[in-house]
């Protein structure tokens, strides 16, 4: 119960789809979604394999709370070896696809091998089959979803697919579901493209069985009331995450122009006020409304409407003007990071990232690295196809997002990601990435805890693997950060494996109450902490087996050597050298960053 | 003395009177006194910057303000 108890194993090389029972012993130790799928990866997929080879498995996984009435209980994750840096990738998405997959009776889909021709997986409850996707290959996400619904004459089918970026194996291609929700990070869409798997289309009618429905609804009522009354939920509903832009700008931790600056002189053009202000051209605001994912009681997602007369749309007359809008991360990476003050251009770039299936964080940060290469002369118009890649150029942003999404021209080079691009052009120090993955919208000089979180994140630089925000905004010093980062890393490991979102701010006590009513197992808050720690160490084991070492637990040189020029962290660098040894010690790892035998034994990982 | 005010991403119930962008205080006032004058009290659901320096909640009572200082209040929100 709560789990469906079923795994769908799809061998793309052989063209087979076979159902099997879930490993229930693993489920009781690793919960679901991120944790359970990582266990399957560790057991069945070679960590040393090339991420874009048939030997790298690709897993879609739900959690025990996916498809239940728990607030935000609609999450799923894509787990594989990531295409950007070869670390374990786990990319989490909302929308309605995950709940539909669970309702079809499947907890997990494991894709093995590589198809000889483009295919998509069609699931109708127990019936699963691989179908020819030749006619879909070369189409965007926005063309693929309606095409599959039309083909099957069912508008209720839920679809997760890749666009052309995934087909072309852009290193940060993502998997998009419900048109604008995405398993966005780590290049999971490139892995999907390498397998010639265009889409998964699901129709589910089975429902999810709950062990103690009365107890579950009582637990959900308690957490839902707390969520409804919390100030952060109201803010997320009204304004999404983009108010963070003013916070990091005020604090001096907003990465700007490839982290050369930490406060943006054009902040008023791309912040929440700019999104809500009526345009001079048509009197409408960029922000149209909000929307919610399956079972969500917050509704943080933004829906924007672009200015139909904006220059980016001149040659795209049928391009939708209303779609998923800027969030904080996409707003930062397509605005301040590239120095662009045109919110319509940033919105267009975000649309194209959804249309073609690309992570807007990695795209924007890679473009910002290219802009620094261009402005320092390492790149010229000869390489860029005549485009002047200057910071602040909205025209360059629009041109390059189109080219990258289609894998054409200089966009093919941008599709390498910042690490490979900067190495190619002789300036690896311009890449703002950790373990090959580009940084989110926080600089580690003013936010030391986030610096440690980036350096130690198992999937590369990430703002969702730890939560040091509160302390970082109060204390700019290395002391105490290791404990905060570890505790919140373990908590998010449990949250991400349960099938719910991080935004409601669920406590482990609330998750415990929901899980204990929903399914078998020991889900006390104390054990959930252990489960989270176990998952973190399992991911670490995968990375070590993949060849990563302690040397990969680092930050861009700029954060370690160039003092912040302004803001609360002025004059500081990120003091990772002081935080990392303490982090290893508290984790129960040796000086080389390897979990000790005692740690592995304590977590039942040896 | 006059203190300049800046409110960033605060929840409505944490905002003082609308449009307030300056605060009059007696010389030698500390940060705690400024927050009391704004009617915000010992609430820890917002954080403070004095000019460009982050001021921990534990130092609010001992941080002395000067004429012309800029006090920024903001929410410790998460991004995504």
**DSSP string covering B29-42:** -BHHHHHHHTT-TT
DSSP H or E stretch at residue A291: strand A287-291
- Mean pLDDT of successive 10-residue segments in chain A (606 residues)? 96 98 98 98 98 98 98 98 97 98 98 98 98 98 98 98 98 98 98 98 97 97 95 87 92 97 97 95 96 96 96 94 96 98 98 98 98 98 98 98 98 98 98 98 98 98 95 94 98 98 96 98 98 98 98 98 96 98 98 98 97
Q: How deeply is A134 buried, as exposed, middle or buried, from its count of CB atoms within 10 A (0-12, 13-18, 19+)?
A: exposed
Q: Cβ of B49 under 8 Å from any chain A Cβ?
A: yes
- List the single residue in A with minimal CA-CA distance to B76: A470
Q: What is the DSSP letter of A439?
A: P
* CA A198 from centroid of its chain's CA atoms: 19
Confidence of residue B9 (pLDDT cuts 50, 70, 90): confident
Query: Between the CA of residue A355 and those of A402, A480, A521, A583, B24, what are the distances in Å?
Result: 10, 42, 41, 40, 53
What residues in A contact B44, CB-CB < 8 Å?
none
- List the single residue in A with minimal CA-CA distance to B53: A568
- Contact assignment for B56 to A474 by CB distance below 8 Å: yes
How far A268 CA lies from chain B's nearest CA (Å)? 13
A87-107 burial, b for 16+ CB within 10 Å, e for fewer? bbbbbbbbbbbbbbbbbbbbb
Chain A, chain B: beta-carbon pairs less than 8 Å apart: 85
What residues in A contact B14, CB-CB < 8 Å?
231
Task: List phi, psi (to 5°) of A409.
Answer: 55, -140
- Contact assignment for B78 to A241 by CB distance below 8 Å: yes
Contact call for residues A159 and A97 (beta carbons, < 8 A)? yes
Q: Which of A437, A527, A453, A538 is nearest to A489 (CA)?
A: A453
Contact call for residues A402 and A411 (beta carbons, < 8 A)? yes
* CA A71 from centroid of its chain's CA atoms: 20
Provide the pLDDT for residue B14: 61
Q: Cβ of A552 under 8 Å from any chain B Cβ?
A: no
Instruction: Kindly give the pairing relationship between strand A158-161 and strand B2-8.
Output: unpaired
What residues in A contact B80, CB-CB < 8 Å?
241, 300, 327-329, 463-464, 502-503
- Contact assignment for B77 to A243 by CB distance below 8 Å: yes
- Contact assignment for B79 to A442 by CB distance below 8 Å: yes
- Contact assignment for B75 to A243 by CB distance below 8 Å: yes
Q: Cβ of B29 under 8 Å from any chain A Cβ?
A: no
DSSP H or E stretch at residue A469: helix A469-472
Confidence of residue B20 (pLDDT cuts 50, 70, 90): confident
pTM for this prediction: 0.96
What residues in A contact B9, CB-CB < 8 Å?
235, 243-244, 246-247, 272
Q: What 3-state DSSP class applies to A52?
A: coil
Q: Tokens standing for A74?
A: 């609609």
- Contact assignment for A235 to B77 by CB distance below 8 Å: yes
Q: Cβ of A456 under 8 Å from any chain B Cβ?
A: no
CB proximity under 8 Å: B 4-23 to A: 6, 8-9, 11, 13-14
- Cα torsion angle, A233, A239, A241, A244, sign: negative
Q: Cβ of B64 under 8 Å from any chain A Cβ?
A: no
What residues in A contact B47, CB-CB < 8 Å?
473-474
Q: How deeply is A429 buried, as exposed, middle or buried, from its count of CB atoms within 10 A (0-12, 13-18, 19+)?
A: middle
- Contact assignment for A440 to B53 by CB distance below 8 Å: no
What ipTM score was computed for the predicted complex, to two decimals?
Answer: 0.84
How far B26 CA lies from chain A's nearest CA (Å)? 26
Provide the pLDDT for residue B40: 78
What residues in B contact A473, CB-CB < 8 Å?
47, 54, 74, 76
d(CA B33, CA B50): 14
- Classify the phi-psi angles of A53: left when phi > 0, otherwise alpha if psi is within -120 to 50, otherwise beta: beta
- Contact assignment for A247 to B56 by CB distance below 8 Å: no
CB proximity under 8 Å: A 500-519 to B: 502-503
d(CA A5, CA A240): 35
d(CA A301, CA A289): 9
Q: Tokens standing for A253?
A: 């931790």
Q: Cβ of B66 under 8 Å from any chain A Cβ?
A: no
Q: What is the mean pLDDT of residues B16-34?
A: 84
Q: Cβ of A567 under 8 Å from any chain B Cβ?
A: yes
B44-60 burial, b for 16+ CB within 10 Å, e for fewer? eebbbbbebebbebebb
Provide the pLDDT for residue B76: 75
Q: Cβ of A232 under 8 Å from any chain B Cβ?
A: yes
**Spatial CB neighbours of A97, under 8 Å, sequence gap ≥ 6:** A76, A158, A159, A160, A177, A178, A181, A200, A202
- Contact assignment for B80 to A567 by CB distance below 8 Å: no
What residues in A contact B74, CB-CB < 8 Å?
246-247, 250-251, 473
- Contact assignment for B74 to A329 by CB distance below 8 Å: no
Provide the pLDDT for residue B17: 57
The residues that bridge with A287 in the sheet, in sequence order, are A304
Q: Which residue is it, tokens 């419900």?
A: A178
A250, A440, A474 ranked by CB distance to B6: nearest? A250
What residues in B contact A440, CB-CB < 8 Å?
79
DSSP H or E stretch at residue A406: helix A394-406
d(CA A574, CA A450): 10
CB proximity under 8 Å: A 301-360 to B: 327-329
What residues in A contact B57, CB-CB < 8 Å?
474
Instruction: Kindly give the pairing relationship between strand B70-74 and strand A76-81.
Output: unpaired
Contact call for residues A113 and A14 (beta carbons, < 8 A)? yes
Contact call for residues B65 and B50 (beta carbons, < 8 A)? yes
Q: Tokens standing for A328?
A: 């904080």
Contact call for residues A94 and A72 (beta carbons, < 8 A)? yes
Provide the pLDDT for residue A266: 97
Q: Which of A168, A182, A30, A194 is nearest to A112 (CA)?
A: A194
Provide the pLDDT for residue A606: 93
């Amino acid at each position: 119960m709560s789990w469906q108890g079923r795994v769908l194993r799809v061998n793309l090389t052989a063209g087979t789809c076979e159902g099997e029972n879930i490993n229930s012993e693993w489920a009781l130790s690793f919960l679901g979604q991120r944790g359970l799928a990582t266990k399957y990866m560790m057991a069945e997929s070679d960590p040393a394999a090339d991420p874009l080879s048939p030997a790298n498995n690709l897993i879609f996984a739900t959690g025990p709370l996916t498809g239940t009435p728990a607030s935000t209980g609609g999450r799923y994750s894509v787990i594989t070896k990531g295409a950007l840096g070869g670390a374990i990738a786990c990319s989490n998405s909302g929308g309605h696809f995950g709940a539909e997959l669970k309702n079809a009776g499947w907890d997990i889909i494991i894709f093995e091998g590589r198809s000889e021709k483009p295919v998509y997986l069609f699931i109708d409850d127990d019936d699963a089959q691989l179908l020819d996707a030749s006619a879909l290959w070369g189409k965007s996400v926005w063309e693929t979803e309606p095409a599959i619904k039309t083909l099957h004459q069912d508008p209720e089918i839920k679809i997760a697919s890749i666009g052309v970026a995934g087909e072309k194996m852009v290193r940060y291609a993502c998997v998009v579901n419900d048109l604008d929700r995405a398993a966005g990070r780590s290049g999971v869409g490139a892995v999907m493209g390498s397998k010639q798997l265009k889409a998964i289309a699901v129709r589910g009618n089975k429902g999810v069985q709950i062990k103690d429905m009365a107890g579950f609804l009582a637990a959900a009522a308690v957490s839902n009331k707390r969520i409804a009354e919390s100030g952060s939920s109201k803010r997320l509903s009204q304004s999404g995450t983009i108010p963070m832009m003013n916070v990091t700008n005020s604090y001096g931790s907003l990465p700007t122009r490839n982290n050369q600056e930490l406060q943006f002189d054009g902040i008023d053009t791309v912040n929440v006020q700019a999104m809500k202000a009526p345009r001079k051209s048509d009197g409408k605001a960029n922000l149209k409304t909000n929307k919610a994912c399956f079972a969500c009681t917050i509704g943080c997602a933004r829906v924007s409407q672009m200015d139909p007369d904006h220059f980016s749309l001149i040659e795209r007359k049928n391009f939708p003007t209303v779609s998923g809008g800027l969030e904080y991360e996409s707003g930062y990476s397509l605005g301040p990071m590239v120095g662009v003050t045109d919110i319509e251009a940033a919105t267009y770039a975000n649309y194209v990232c959804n249309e073609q299936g690309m992570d807007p964080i990695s795209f924007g940060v890679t473009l910002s690295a290219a802009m620094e290469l261009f402005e320092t002369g390492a790149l010229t118009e000869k390489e860029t196809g005549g485009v002047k890649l200057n910071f602040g150029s909205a025209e360059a942003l629009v041109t390059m997002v189109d080219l990258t999404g289609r894998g054409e021209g200089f966009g093919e080079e941008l599709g390498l990601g910042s690490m490979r691009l900067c190495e190619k052009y002789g300036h690896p120090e311009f890449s703002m990435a950790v373990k090959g993955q580009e940084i989110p919208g926080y600089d580690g000089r003013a936010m030391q805890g986030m610096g440690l979180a980036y350096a130690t994140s198992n999937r590369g630089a990430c703002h969702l693997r730890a939560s040091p925000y509160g302390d970082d905004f109060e204390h700019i010093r290395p002391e105490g950060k290791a404990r905060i980062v570890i505790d919140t890393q373990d908590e998010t490991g449990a949250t991400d494996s349960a099938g719910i979102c991080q935004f409601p701010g669920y406590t482990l006590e609330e998750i415990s109450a929901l899980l204990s009513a929903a399914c078998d197992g020991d889900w006390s808050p104390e054990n959930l902490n252990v489960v989270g720690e176990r998952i973190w160490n399992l991911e670490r084991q995968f990375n070590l087996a993949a060849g990563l070492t302690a040397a990969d637990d680092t930050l861009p040189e700029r954060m370690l050597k160039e003092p912040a020029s302004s803001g609360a962290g002025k004059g500081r660098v990120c003091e990772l050298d002081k935080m990392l040894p303490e982090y290893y010690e508290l984790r129960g790892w040796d000086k080389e960053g390897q979990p000790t035998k005692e740690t592995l034994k304590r977590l039942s990982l040896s | 003395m006059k203190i300049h005010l800046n409110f960033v991403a605060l929840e409505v119930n944490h905002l003082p009177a609308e449009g307030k962008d300056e605060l009059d205080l007696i010389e030698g006032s500390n940060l705690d006194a400024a927050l009391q004058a704004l009617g915000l009290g010992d609430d820890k659901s917002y954080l403070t910057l004095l000019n460009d320096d982050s001021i921990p909640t534990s130092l609010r009572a001992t941080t002395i303000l000067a004429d012309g200082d800029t006090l920024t209040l903001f929410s410790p929100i998460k991004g995504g």
